Structure 1
Amino acid sequence: MIELSLEEIATVTGGRLVGPDARITGPVVTDSRECAAGSLYVARVGEHADGHDFVPAALAVGAAGVLGERAVDGASCVVVDDVELAFAEVARAVVDRAPNLQIVGITGSSGKTSTKDLLGAVLARFAPTIAPYGSLNSEVGVPLTVCRIDEATRYLVAEMGASGVGHIAYLTKIAPPSIGIVLNVGQAHMGEFGSVEAIARTKGELVEALPQDGVAILNVDDSRVRAMASRTQAKVILVGLGEDADYRATDVSIDEAGRPSYHLTCPLGEADVRLALVGEHQVGNSLSVIAAATSLGLALGDVVEAVAGAGAASRWRMEVSEVGGGVTLVNDAYNANPDSMRAALRALAHMGTSRRSIAALGEMRELGEASHDEHTAVGQLAAELGIDRLVVVGAGAQAIAQGARTAGMTADAITTVDDIDAAHDVLVEQIAPGDVVLFKSSRDSGLRMLGDRLVEESGTPAFPVTEVTS
Structure 2
Amino acid sequence: MISLTLSQLADAVAGDLHLFGDDTPETVVDGPVDTDSRAIVAGGVFVAKPGEQTDGHRFVDAAVASGAALAIVERTVDASVSQIVVADAVAALADLARFVVARVRERGELRIVGITGSNGKTTTKNLLARILEDDGETVSPRASFNNEVGAPLTMLRLTDDTRFLVSEFGASGPGEIARLAGLVTPDIGVVLMVGMAHAGGFGGIEATFHAKSELVRAVRTGGLAILNADDPRVAAMAPIAAERGIDVRWFGRGDTAEVRAVDVEVTATGTRAELVVDGAPLTLRLRVLGEHHVMNALAALAAATALGIDAATAVARLETVELAERWRMQPLGSERVRIINDAYNASPDSMAAALRTLAQITGPQERTVAVLGAMSELGEYAEEEHDRVGLLAVRLGIQRIVVIGADARRMFLEAVAQGSWDSEAVFFATADEAYDYLVTELRDGDRVLVKSSNSAGLRFLGDRLGEFFA
One-letter amino acid of the structure 2 residue matched with residue 46 of structure 1 = G
Q: Work out which of the residue numbers 421, 425, 431 in structure 2 matches 1:420.
A: 431
Equivalent residues of 2:288, 2:324 under 8 A apart: no
Please list the CA deviations of residues 336-384 of structure 1 after superposition, one character each: whole Å capped at 9, or x if unmatched: 1101101111111112133211110001111111111111110111111
Counterparts of 1:383-462 in structure 2 under 5 Å? Answer: 383-458=394-469
Q: Which amino acid aligns with 1:399?
A: R
- The code of the aligned residue for 2:63 comes to A
Please point out which of 114, 123, 145 is paired with 1:105: 114
Residue of 303, 319, 322 corresponding to 2:333: 322
Matching residue of 2:91: 85
Counterparts of 2:12 and 2:333, CA distance in 1: 50
**Deviation of residue 314 (structure 1)?**
2.1
For the 8 Å contact 1:317–1:334, the answer to whether it is kept is yes
Alpha-carbon distance in 2 for matches of 1:117, 1:383: 33
* Cα contact 1:23–1:64 (8 A) shared by 2: no
Tell me the residue number matched to 1:184: 193
1:244 aligns with 2:256: yes
Deviations 1:140-175 (A, max 9, x none): 001111111111111111000001111000001222
Equivalent AA in structure 2 for residue 199 of structure 1: T
Cα 1:237–1:178, aligned 2, differ >3 Å: closer, same or farther?
same
Rounded to whole Å, the distance in 1 between the matches of 2:289 and 2:330 is 9
Q: Distance in 1 between matches of 2:132 and 2:396?
A: 36
Aligned-pair CA distance for 1:405: 2.5
Q: RMSD in angstroms over aligned alpha carbons?
A: 1.3
Secondary structure of the residue that 1:302 maps to in structure 2?
A: helix
Q: Deviations over 1:167-225 (max 9, x none)?
A: 00000122221011100011111221111111110100001111232111111111000
Which SS does the other structure have where 1:249 is aligned? Answer: strand
SS of equivalent to 2:423? helix
Output the CA distance in 1 between the equivalents of 2:94 and 2:205. 28
Deviations for 1:298-324, whole angstroms, at most 9, x for unmatched residues? 11110111111112242211111133x
The one-letter code matched in structure 1 to 2:35 is T
Shift of 1:9: 1.1
CA contact 1:118–1:311 (8 Å) conserved in 2:
no
1:58-77 correspondence runs (5 A): 58-73=63-78, 74-77=80-83
Provide the rounded CA distance (Å) in 2 between the counterparts of 1:38 and 1:344: 44
Please name the residue that 2:46 is paired with. Answer: 41
Decide which of 344, 355, 363 is 1:353's aligned counterpart.
Answer: 363
SS at match of 1:113: helix
Q: What TM-score do the two structures reach when normalised by structure 2? A: 0.95
Corresponding residue for residue 195 of structure 1: 204
> Which is further off, 407-416 or 376-385?
407-416
Cross-structure match for 1:53: 58
Does 1:96 pair with 2:108?
no
> Which secondary structure state, in structure 2, belongs to the residue aligned with residue 390 of structure 1?
strand
Contact 2:115 2:168 in 1 (8 A): yes
The 5 A counterparts of 1:252-291 are: 252-257=264-269, 259-267=270-278, 269-291=280-302
Summarize deviations over 1:90-117 as a string: whole Å, max 9, x none: 1111111213111110000011111111
Give, in whole Å, the separation in 1 of the partners of 2:353 and 2:363: 16
Amino acid at match of 1:11: D
What is the distance in 1 between the residues matched to 2:32 and 2:277? 40
- Deviates further, 152-161 or 403-412: 403-412
- 2:104 aligns to what SS in structure 1? coil
User: Structure 2 residue aligned with 1:168, among 171, 177, 189?
Assistant: 177
Aligned to 2:319: 308
Residues in 2 aligned to 1:404 and 1:196: alpha-carbon distance in whole angstroms: 26
Deviates more, 1:279-288 or 1:242-251: 242-251
Q: Secondary structure at the match of 2:303?
A: helix
Partner AA of 2:400 in structure 1: R
Contact 1:256 1:353 in 2 (8 A): no
Q: Which moved more, 1:162-171 or 1:24-33?
A: 24-33
User: Per the alignment, in what secondary structure is the counterpart of residue 182 of structure 2?
Assistant: helix
Unpaired runs of at least 5, structure 1: 460-470
Percent sequence identity over aligned pairs: 46
How far off is 1:7 after superposition? 1.3
Task: Return the letter of the residue paired with 1:251.
Answer: D
Rounded to whole Å, the distance in 2 between the matches of 1:121 and 1:272 is 18
Taking structure 1 as the reference length, the TM-score comes to 0.95
Report the equivalent of 1:10.
10
Q: State the Cα distance separating 1:263 from its structure 2 match.
A: 1.6
- Conserved 8 A contact 1:380-1:405: no
Query: Where does structure 2 lack aligned partners over 5 or more consecutive residues?
Result: none
Cα distance between partner residues in 2 of 1:241 and 1:330: 26
**Structure 1 pair 193–85 and aligned structure 2 pair: CA distance change class (3 A):** same
**Correspondent of 1:221 among 198, 215, 230:** 230
Matches within 5 A, 1:137-148: 137-148=146-157
**Aligned residue-pair number:** 457
Q: Which moved more, 1:129-138 or 1:116-125?
A: 116-125
Distance across 2 between alignment mates of 1:353 and 1:6: 62
Match of 1:204 among 198, 213, 235: 213
Q: 1:268: how far off?
A: 5.1
Matched residue type, 1:244: T
Task: Check conservation: 1:212, 1:234, Cα contact below 8 A.
Answer: yes
